Structure 1
């Protein structure tokens, strides 16, 4: 029992250690000599290590799970195999009636090999036992929404992991989901589905993917556009729609519904078609400088429950869609977000284009930056009120600049930018 208590104190996974104590406590003072080690092993059932599932019996588990094999004559267990892949056995996790193992990510699953045998095999000094058991991939993980600016009838593409056996994709709203027409690739890292009718963003803007292994988690990377927070869509009249050439912060002849190799998402967009100068050199046509020079509030303040001035700046993202069409490598191109605060700090954050844009063929991707990523030394925005305040003269500005960090090579490309907006990414205060 002393060794079990030491294990409980030192093991990083307290749930597993607690379970070991429960499963092994009555056997802790026994040695192999007290059991008939010549008897072949018997597997009665498999369960996980949560004490609340003591009476359960599993026939499948996901990669990464820790499971308890329950039975008899298990004290001399040498090895455990899942789909003929050896997992290894730690003697500290073995008693005559229990073997605790972890299913690591290298175990073959039906997702990657439909011919796996779906068997667990346990080997002891006296023989072996098998048990029908299916190993599944983990629950889906959504890492990126390719283009968040979608509505009913549009195709939504997700990038992530473990998109296997997906049966449902949930959208914002009460029971708004899709069960048919869900397309995934063989590697399980892309998913495409048609956006349904009935979206409701009053509670959430997240997309959730559900498979036989579970549901994907939600975070700021799993959201679609709610319709709130638009600053510049290059179509809608508003504070920035002045009747002069640079009212949208870019030359008027660059605002159109098409550019070479780029088709519009919805209406007009801001286009840049040039050889972007090397070494971060400047020209006006690589800049979108949104500015309310007369002091108007161009940033969103409604709905007030979302755009609460007291909310932490870290709850907000600056997002926009960007498309690039280029025959040249784009790894040296980036977009800088720039904002001057009321303390005369020029806050900025730079996003490499390759961080979000997976192709350079004119496809639209959503770019996103948390508002607190805009920094100048140790200076950053604290609350949304700091952002609403504008600069020291009360002028609200937000600038996007395409930068080419290559020291010598100009990069010829066409770039489109649309739907610059402020999104309440985290709704809790």
Structure 2
């Protein structure tokens, strides 16, 4: 550390003293650390005349509590038994650290040839400019304060000597297509939405009540929207990445503001796997496999084009997820998709367009697309006996009620 200090024997100018911290020196502490020379101290500075017992005991008690909390044994009783330790002798042996330390070779002071001339010099002989700090020292101090801080880009792994670059760690934990991270996201959703036994202690009691009642929307929530793909409309199950209201990113938002015109969402389409092709009206037939659709990020989607969904949690042997995962029902997804289409037809001229990928559209094992489709008004894809059919599934487009 560097200390900008002034001394009465320096002619009224400030000097910069560079010393190491006590932690770096250990027990090798010299008188250099007392940057105020003992010769400039006037009066009684003996320990016998200074009563610091109350401060010493208070510090003793505080240090003991901190050491016990850290799982360390307090050494103060052993120090008292050995003796030689006090507030000015922290290393024991009755050696005062800042007053009786050994002088380094560079610290040996030259004898004062002028005798008492320097001490007899009065303040009246000093000019006002002599009392001002040296410009060079002041500029150096300001440059040091305003300079760029050095940042170490390497961190240790579990306290060992092995290090890893921070960018590598961020790539591992920031990969949106990693099943491991997807399970972590699922746990966070279970924590904040009341889908599991965990609770987020950072939320206030009022906010927790609102979450349990389904009155709040926040990031990591599963939701539903509709997207355009190959000139048709399909339902997409998404994870909310960010909630934005009036240009401000929010951690949570009351549900009553979701469909306001100043609310937009950033979402990522979730990859689903069909686990029951026999279609049970009351059963769940879609499971989230822990992955997301590549290129399925939807930004700035209006809130009126999104609806929350509260899925069940089930274990599945058909998806590569070891823990419970989200489970969806076809009938519920299609019904919510119809409701969203009504909102869109009244408020939005366009919907997000997504390219066909391996994980989207949602398909059966035979390759048929599922979960609602609707052809654009001016583009009929297939005609069979006067009825329009979707090329991706067996749904008759003419029978759909969505405008």
TM-score range, shorter chain: under 0.3
> If each structure's helix is expressed as a fraction of its own residues, which one has the higher value?
2
The one of the two structures with greater contact order (alpha-carbon pairs below 8 A, sep at least 6) is 1
Structure 1 or 2: more strand by fraction? 1
- Using the size of structure 1 for normalisation, the TM-score is 0.22
Give the greater-gyration-radius structure (CA).
2
